[in-house]
Structure 1
Amino acid sequence: MPPTGTAKILAAGISAVAVGGLGGFVLGRSTSDPRRSASHTPFVVHADQKDGLQPAATQTALAPYNPQNKTVAPMPGGVAPDLSVGPHRVGEIMKHGFPTTDTVRSRSDYVLAYDRKNRTALWVAEHLTAERLKDRTKVSRSGCDFKDDPSIHPYFRSTNEDYFRSGFDRGHLAAAGNHWINQESMDETFYLSNISPQVGVGFNRDAWNKLEQYARFKTKSCSNVYVLTGPLYLPSMLEDGKTYVKYQVIGMSNVAVPTHFFKALLCQSPSGEYHLETYVMPNKAIDDKIPLQAFQVPPDTIERSAGFLLFEGLPRTAVKTVNGKKT
């Protein structure tokens, strides 16, 4: 099924695409290869569309990270979560699989994979619970400073100078508001490896912020919310009738400005059931009247464009609904 263009997303939503893509997400996986079917039809960019979603090669399954070679047992619904932070959190945050394993960095309360070419993250993973999101009186955002990530080679880092007078906000991928657990966790969200250039008014400060707030809101009814966030660089058709992947770069480091951003929410109910919601938003000012549901897309829309699979360690049969529709 052809992808939906940005104009169509903003004007009429993507409910038709979601219905069609849901079948591909669930039925396009055979028993021998649960991730992809050889007969699965790739996305095709049609001439009358302004942007599209590129097919991506099949990714090899990755085993969930296992610290100290110990098995990370699933957390049953309703059990109070571990509120500590540190390297051992990797197994809990990533228990449903790593999308990729290149240039992975584990912070005290989130995990990311860094894109050295584009100077921003490929994806960022978080694990949210109601208890972990409680505002801590000793934690302050006001004293946090955006800073270079010293774990990234200087050749491939983004810097504050790259953003200076660029016209773009330094937009969080792992939202600062998700990490009130302690000051260190809050501070670490300000590493520039966790930042992407985002349009400010209408996007970072408005529509994208609403989606971040919605992810936190889900913890009120869900025992666990696993969040994957990242940039996308989607093709568009130009005046010559040809399709190009075109995006701006900023600063001396040529930091890529994503055309779109995705966010995937894997929500576990108190009874242990999983429900998946997946969103793509254009990196532009968005009308405040457009509901978040208008930006829901089939999961494979993100997977084919990003080049990796979402929550690969979780069997798809365990997901009861996708974007509110039964699987």
Structure 2
Amino acid sequence: MVVLGAIALAGCLGLAGCGVVADLADLADLRLMTSPHLMLGNPSDAATRLELPNNYLLIKPQFALSYSRDRGTANWVSWQLNPDWLGEVDRQNNFRPDPDLPADWPVITSQDYRGRRYDRGHLAPSGDRTASIEDNSATFVMSNIIPQSPDNNRGPWSDLESASRQLVSQGRELYILAGPIGQQGRIGSAQVVVPQSVWKIIVVMEEPGLEAGEISEATRVIAVNLPNVSGIGNRPWQDFITTVDELEELTGFDFLSTVDDDVEAVIERRADGG
């Protein structure tokens, strides 16, 4: 039914007489149904609607996210990673406000991070989008950035990012989600929330092109929750292994909702230490 709806909506968008359908919400619904970055679901039922300022859905070619206006960061970011996304493009470093957010919302800029003791930490990493300048540049919008402890960002968080790309080099395809938890203050004139910890979930598919229905009890699912503090720069990411069930308790989100319920129950309670 979802596929048929997407086909019907796509066909209508191609007809001059269907302009009434082609508003912001309908376009977002179409992207929701077709985005590879949401193959495993929409954890918070985010939508591109102004009445949901703290669960506002943005679906980009490079990743999808739920944004919180009041926090000034994403609630979660979700993305696919396979060899098609990787290349030789250099890091663009062009941090900038996200132009896809409503114009009358607080604008988050690099200035909000300047002089603070936090990195401009990526949720969807720059290193996961190196196939083109456009793809890499997309990761530098501030909706994909959180205030992150340097020891976290440049230590175990970075190491896990590298480990993910190593899995891809071995022929795997990954579906990844990441986001912040909690609050330990705010920074900048926009009052961006500094999270207490940052989490990540990595679903490891044996090869590119598999669908959610092909996930089994044997599928690897790596989940971590890293404290957003100093002093952890030399610790391995495996020290922070948790379960998807635990992250659901902490966030209130429903992860992996498109996976078979019986399979989901098994893989969400299992801790995978890499």
TM-score tier, shorter chain, comes to 0.7 to 0.9
Q: Who is 1:303 aligned against?
A: 248
Q: What is the distance in 2 between the residues matched to 1:89 and 1:168?
A: 36
Indicate the residue corresponding to 2:37 in structure 1: 93
Residue number among 69, 75, 87 corresponding to 1:135 in the alignment: 87
2:208 paired with 1:256: no
TM-score norm. by structure 2 comes to: 0.75
Offset at 1:88?
9.0
**Counterpart contact for 1:99–1:309, Cα < 8 Å:** yes
Match of 1:105 among 51, 58, 63: 58
Q: Distance in 1 between matches of 2:34 and 2:120?
A: 25
Mapped to 2, the partners of 1:218 and 1:89 lie a distance apart of 27
* Other structure's SS at 1:302 match: helix
1:300 partner SS: helix
Paired AA for residue 119 in structure 1: G
Deviations 1:252-296 (A, max 9, x none): 111000010000001112495422111000001244553322211
Q: Give a deviation string over 1:10-68, Cα, whole Å, max 9, x none.
A: xxxxxxxxxxxxxxxxxxxxxxxxxxxxxxxxxxxxxxxxxxxxxxxxxxxxx89x744
Indicate the SS of the match to 1:193. helix
Q: Distance in 2 between matches of 1:183 and 1:177?
A: 12
SS at match of 1:135: coil
Q: 1:219 aligns with which of 157, 162, 168?
A: 168
Describe the shift of the 1:194–1:89 C-alpha distance in structure 2 as closer, same or farther (beyond 3 A): farther
- 1:86-235 equivalence runs, <5 A: 90-100=34-44, 101=46, 102-129=55-82, 131-136=83-88, 139-141=89-91, 143-153=92-102, 154-200=104-150, 202-221=151-170, 223-233=172-182
Q: 1:88 to 1:115 in 2, by over 3 A?
A: closer
Identity rate, percent: 25
Alignment of 1:238-253 (within 5 A): 247-253=184-190
Distance of aligned partners of 1:144 and 1:310 in 2 relative to their CA distance in 1, 3 Å threshold: same
Q: 1:306, 1:67 → 2: CA distance? A: 30
Tell me how large the CA RMSD over aligned residues is: 2.5
1:150 positional shift: 1.6
Q: Extract unaligned runs of 5+ from structure 1.
A: 1-62, 71-86, 234-245
Where 1:132 maps in the other structure, the secondary structure is: helix
Following the alignment from structure 2 to structure 1, what is the Cα–Cα distance between the partners of residues 232 and 69?
Answer: 33
AA at the equivalent of 1:156: P
In 1, Cα distance between equivalents of 2:242 and 2:32 = 33
Could you report, residue by residue, the CA deviation over 1:212-251 in whole angstroms, capped at 9, with x for unpaired residues?
Answer: 1122222234532100000001xxxxxxxxxxxx511001
CA shift for structure 1 position 316: 4.1
Distance 1:119 1:277, change over 3 A: same
Q: What displacement does 1:318 show?
A: 3.5
Inter-CA distance 310–220: structure 2 relative to 1 (3 Å threshold): same
Shift of 1:181: 2.1
Alignment-mate amino acid for residue 221 of structure 2 = L
Greater relative contact order (Cα < 8 A, sep 6+): 1
Deviation, 1:324, is 3.3
In 2, Cα distance between equivalents of 1:300 and 1:105: 25
Please list, as runs of the form range in 1=range in 2, the aligned pairs for 1:263-278 lying within 5 A after superposition: 263-270=200-207, 273=216, 274-278=219-223
Aligned residue type for 1:317: D
Amino acid across the alignment from 2:84: R
Do the aligned residues in 1 keep the contact of 2:113 with 2:188 (CA within 8 Å)? yes
User: Residue 106 of structure 1 aligns to which amino acid in structure 2?
Assistant: I
Letter in 1 for 2:194: V
**Contact 1:90 / 1:110 at 8 angstroms: preserved in 2?**
no
Change beyond 3 A, Cα 1:268–1:174: same
How many residues in Structure 1 have an aligned counterpart in Structure 2?
229
Distance 1:150 1:324, change over 3 A: closer
* Aligned partner of residue 140 in structure 1, secondary structure: coil
Amino acid at match of 1:117: D
Contact 2:37 2:64 in 1 (8 A): yes
Higher helix share: 2
